[in-house]
Amino acid sequence: MTLSALLTLAGLQALIAMSPGPAGVLTIKTAAAEGVKSGLLLSLGLALAIIVWAAGAMAGLSLIFEIAPYLQTALRLIGAAFLIWIGISLWRKASEPMPEISAAHVKSPVALVRLGLLTNLANPKALAYFAAVFTGIMPTDPTATDATIILSLIFAIEFVWYAILSLVFSRPAPRRAYARAKGWLDRAFGGIVALLGAKIATT
């Protein structure tokens, strides 16, 4: 794969990662409420999910969807339902006070990685990007070296972006600001994620 194609891929991947969506909302909320470690573990799960989508695209995801378009519809509806569930959960817990960061109040590492993984696997934005745009950038017959470089690049961009969000929003000042406005912020975050899910389900 040429350097130009890699730079194009890196730029597009960065734009996709940085565009507003449920992954960013969840990262900000998790880092502010549970600290940087929880945010980084969530970021790891988000990045791993993107690797799954990228590997699927390399294996012919778009071709599978052309042969069986109902599979794409099913994945879209499942993803939409999961996002709506996250949104409702955020809304319902909005009135709960923000706990102090301690082992007793933080989700387990496995739970955080799993939440990140499921969130980005359920993200139809990733599905659309990897089924259409990504496959158009990929070389027609990538070598094992090409695949390794591409997957490593995608993972690094995705993880670094959400890690930056985690580092910023787990700092004392943003955390205090979040604590003061937790009730309406969680309801706003929950509403945004649920509306995204509903929009995806009805598209």
Nearest to 185 by CA among 10, 1, 13, 26: 26
pLDDT tens column, 23-71? 888 898 889 888 899 999 999 999 999 998 888 877 776 666 667 677 7
Query: Residue 138: pLDDT above 90?
Result: no
Contact of 53 with 135, CB cutoff 8 Å: no
Rounded Cα distance, 33 and 115, in Å: 15
The token duo for 120 is 């980005």
Confidence of residue 132 (pLDDT cuts 50, 70, 90): low
